[in-house]
Amino acid sequence: MSLLDIAPIIEQMLLTSENVSDLNFSSGQTPQVEINGTLYSTAPLGLSKLTAFQTEMIAMALVRDNPDACAQLAKYRTADLSYALPGKCRFRVNIFQQRNSFSIVMRAIPTDIPSFEALNLPPQLKEIADIRNGVVLLTGPTGSGKSSTLAAIIDRINETKAYHIVTIEDPIEFLHNHKKSTINQREVGADTKDFASALRAALRQAPKVILVGEMRDLETAEIALEAAETGHLVLSTLHTIDASKTIDRIIGLYPKNEERIIRTRLAQTFRYIVSQRLIPRADGKGRIAAVEVLRSNPRTREYIEKGESEGKTLLDAIRDGEIDGMQDFDSVIRRMIEQKVISFEDGLSYATNQNNLLLQLKGLASSEDYNSPGKRPLGSALAAPVAPPPPSGNSVLDMIE
């Protein structure tokens, strides 16, 4: 078996479960798959613990037809690229060097664009498709479903509006076809030098909607704000845990003496900040997204422009803004626990304020459902699984991000 023919290895690993989200290759470790947030060891085609030479061969197999990724890997010791198994699955790949060997992480991307219903997203987010200008941000940790939610929003715009849509991604994840809209997707490295230059060029390409894969730096954030101020709808992502931290992150990109100006600009241009956390389902069938929604209204604009203070925080505004379609993490998690969609313990571990949620759920913790014989007591630690679930025979086609 040649490691330069990586496709059979990947196919074998995907057969482990229909819920495989990531493939991991590291020196000194067996090939691993991530299922619902947990890593499991596999032995595709008899591979056991990988050597540094084997992980280098896997890396070379992935980049051999991608000169830009090869150059990036040689110069920076890390590379982002996309990889496809024709007709089966696509991956967002990161190759990086550690301790003089290569490691590879491959994030599986579904071939089908998910719908709002499939992702269990709040229905009010469909209104984003009707917004004509401004900034909409999707936030959350890596692997929280941001790309899938953005894909669902873009697909809805694509189906309902006759717009020109330009996406700038690193790498391209979901592949969109022209529907009612015309959609052009540009990949950093292959189609453009970087986010900032592509975003600057997009302003001359007459788009109504611009998707920026990630706001990574000051230059990208500044051009995105300019685009929103000049009549474009800009969609992007940030790695932040909630709405208020998102505002802090953007302001933190700018010099301190520009804070007041940036606060005013953000208050005027933001439309939605949507934060996500993926929580394991109580029935063990995958994960479900808990979604926090901050929406632009006079109160939220005031708090962003003037800054938060005691009793005047964005979280207070979200909790009081249900009539405007807003919702906070802890309220969503509480409902999921009460409806037994997620377990009490998992809900607490993903909450923003565990003590407050515990008080709200007082009495539920001692219920028969959570402490009856055979149930894991609250606070107990889960042992790391050593064997994956039995093969389902299906490929990974329906995972969110």
What is the assigned CATH class of domain 116-327? alpha beta
Distance of CA 186 to the CA centre of its chain: 19
pTM assigned to the model: 0.80
| Strand duo 101-109 + 20-25: pairing | antiparallel
182: number of Cβ within 10 Å: 13
* Residue that the structure tokens 């626990």 belong to: 337
Q: Which of 141-150, 221-230, 298-307 has the lowest mean pLDDT?
A: 141-150
Q: How far apart are CA 158 and CA 70, in angstroms?
A: 34
pLDDT of residue 2: 60
Q: Mean pLDDT across the stretch 318-346?
A: 93
In this predicted model, which residue has the larger pLDDT, 388 or 80? 80
Tell me how many degrees the CA angle 90-31-386 measures, rounded to the nearest 5.
115
Would the pLDDT of 324 be above 80? Answer: yes
* 277 Cβ contact partners less than 8 Å away, ≥ 6 residues apart: 140, 141, 144, 289, 290, 329, 350
As a dihedral over the C-alpha atoms of residue 398, residue 340, residue 116, residue 152, rounded to 10 degrees, the angle is -60
Would the pLDDT of 399 be above 60? Answer: no
Would the pLDDT of 377 be above 50? Answer: no
CA-closest candidate to residue 377, choices 335, 344, 342: 344
Q: Which of 29-33, 73-77, 283-287, 323-327 has the lowest mean pLDDT?
A: 283-287
User: Tokens at residue 212, please?
Assistant: 């920026």
Q: Which of 97-111, 117-131, 141-155, 386-400 has the lowest mean pLDDT?
A: 386-400
Domain 7-109: assigned CATH number? 3.30.450.90
| Helix/strand/coil percentages in the chain, nearest 5 | 35, 25, 40
Would the pLDDT of 57 be above 90? Answer: yes
Tens of pLDDT, residue by residue over 14-45, are: 999 888 999 999 999 999 999 988 899 999 98
Spans of all domains in the chain: 7-109, 116-327, 337-369
